[in-house]
Structure formats: C-alpha cells, structure tokens
Amino acid sequence: MRIRATVAAVSGALALSALAVPSAHADGGYGDTTITKVVVDGDNKVSVGTSHPKTIKVSVTAKDNSGIKGAEEFTLKGPDHGYFVTGKPSCTKVGSTTSTCTASVLVDPKVDYLYNTNAGTWYVDAWIDANDDDFVWESKAGSFKFQRASKLTANASPEPVKKGRTITVTGKLSRANWETGKYAGYTNQPVKLQFRKKGSSTYTTVRTLKTNSTGSLSTTVKASTDGYFRYSFAGTSTTPAVNAAGDFVDVK
C-alpha cells in the first residue's frame, strides 16, 4: 500500500498520489471556517482482514458563519508511508452554519499493497471550503486506528464432565498478516479466560494467561456448574479486541 503510480477514477477508489492535496496553500486557512469533528467508520477504528474489501467511511463536520460550500477529497495517512485518498465528499447541512462532509475509500487487501507496519494510528487530512470563500486546511484533523483483523477460539473439554473433574480450555489468538495474505498466531499476548454460568448474561474472568510462540492458549479449571468458557483479548494499537465464542460445558 505504499506510494503507487496509479490513481483509480471510480467512486470511493484508492489513490496514492501526492497530487491529491491542493498545493497552493499551507496548513491553516482563511476566515472563520473551522473543523469541529472527525469520525472514521463510526468509532474511529478500522479492522482489515486478508481477503475481503473494506470500505472506510470518513465524516468531517465543519462550520462557518456563511455555511459550508464543500470539501476536497480527504487524505488518510498512516505509519510506514501508508496513504489513501477518498472519493469526493458529499456535504449535508446540519444547521445554518454547519455541515458534515462524508466520503469513503475502498481498501482491498488482495489488491492494495498493505504492509504489517502500516497498522497503527492513522490521521485524516481535510480541506473544507465555505460559501464566502473562507476555507480551512488541517493535516491531522482527526485520528483513527487502522488494525490487522483478529480471531480468537476457545474449546473446553471433556464435555460432558463430572463435577470436580478437570476441564482443559484450549484456544488460539491470531491476526491478519497482510504480507502473506493469511492469519498467523499473535504471540506473547495477555488473554483472559472467562466463564458465564448457564442462565446468566455476564462473563467473569477466571484468570489471565499469555499466548505461546504460536499464539495458542491452554489452561485447566475444575468443573463446578454448567456454563460457557471463552477467551477474551483486550486488543492492542495494531490489533482489535476480540472475544471467542463461548463453549458450553455440561457438568454432571
């Protein structure tokens, strides 16, 4: 996903061209136009796997006493020269002086040159024009996490099991390797073993352990009552949080 020579012409297309940002003005602006809010994908977190395209939606809210006229394409910049440019934003009035301008870009891990080192904190550069020819240009107007998608499994056995006997709970934490196009074990990461009694909706933490050199997990507990075991990972700056599906154990 590093700098490429081609710029796609379709709506919401990827672009890796330094020409996307107007060069006649430095960071700053003219007049009273201001950017008040930037939201990426609803929660400022984007998770990309190894096979399915991901549409990243960027919304920038701005205000000016004359109202907002429009916006230039937003530029998304990340670690190790990561670089995307959205399609042309569409601006919707939310008040007499305020509008929210929205655009998107399609990220395809099978097509774009994604590197594992591109994961981390990304920033949105935005240029907004007002009706009275005021404008604002902000690099790093907002930030978001661009992360390698994660998977987590859990398996409790034997099942059914007699009360007081030992239950072994195994699992694996893995994340997308954008360079190989496969998922690989996430090593040396803290993961919580959690239990939810049958009939309850709340998981409680039993203990915390770390993944081994292949991302695998294994621990034992004593069988006490019917319920579900799962592993839970809190996430890192480059990898999103994930919970394994609960595995039910019938205690006789």
- Give the CATH number for residue 167: 2.60.40.730
Same-domain check for residues 142 and 168:
no
User: 9 lies in a domain?
Assistant: no
> Could you identify the residue written with the tokens 């075991």?
229
pLDDT for position 89 = 98
Q: Between residues 188 and 9, which one has the greater pLDDT?
A: 188
Q: What is the pTM of this model?
A: 0.87
Could you tell me the residue range of the domain that residue 90 belongs to?
18-147
Please give the C-alpha separations between residue 105 and each of 43, 188, 198, in angstroms, as whole numbers. 16, 34, 43
pLDDT for position 249 = 98
Total domains in the fold of the chain: 2
pLDDT for position 202 = 98
Same-domain check for residues 189 and 244:
yes
pLDDT for position 22 = 41
pLDDT for position 27 = 75
- Written as six digits, the tokens of 102 are 């929205």
Same-domain check for residues 27 and 127:
yes
Q: Which of residues 128, 147, 166 is at a domain's end?
A: 147
Cis peptide before 160 (omega within 30 of 0): yes
User: 8 lies in a domain?
Assistant: no
Same-domain check for residues 221 and 210:
yes
Q: How does DSSP classify residue 8?
A: -
Tell me the C-alpha distance between 124 and 143, whole Å. 6
Same-domain check for residues 192 and 136:
no
User: 34 lies in a domain?
Assistant: yes
Burial category of 188 from C-beta neighbours within 10 Å (exposed 0-12, middle 13-18, buried 19 and up): exposed
User: 49 lies in a domain?
Assistant: yes
Q: Which of residues 147, 162, 187 is at a domain's end?
A: 147
User: 46 lies in a domain?
Assistant: yes
Same-domain check for residues 182 and 208:
yes
Same-domain check for residues 136 and 221:
no
Same-domain check for residues 23 and 143:
yes
Q: Which of residues 98, 115, 147 is at a domain's end?
A: 147
Report the C-alpha dihedral over residues 40, 41, 45, 50, rounded to 10 degrees.
-120
Nearest CA to 119 out of 78, 159, 152, 86 is that of 78
Tell me the C-alpha distance between 28 and 30, whole Å. 7
> How far apart are the two ends of the chain, measured CA to CA in Å?
54
Question: How many C-beta neighbours within 10 Å does residue 95 have?
Answer: 11
pLDDT tens-place string over residues 121-159: 999 999 999 999 999 999 999 999 999 999 999 999 999
User: 177 lies in a domain?
Assistant: yes
Same-domain check for residues 23 and 82:
yes
Same-domain check for residues 22 and 129:
yes
Same-domain check for residues 142 and 36:
yes
Tell me the C-alpha distance between 84 and 11, whole Å. 13
pLDDT tens-place string over residues 151-172: 999 999 999 999 999 999 999 9
Helix (H) or strand (E) holding 208: strand 204-210
User: 3 lies in a domain?
Assistant: no
User: 31 lies in a domain?
Assistant: yes
Same-domain check for residues 139 and 210:
no
The Cβ-side half-sphere exposure at 68, using a 13 Å CA radius, reads 27
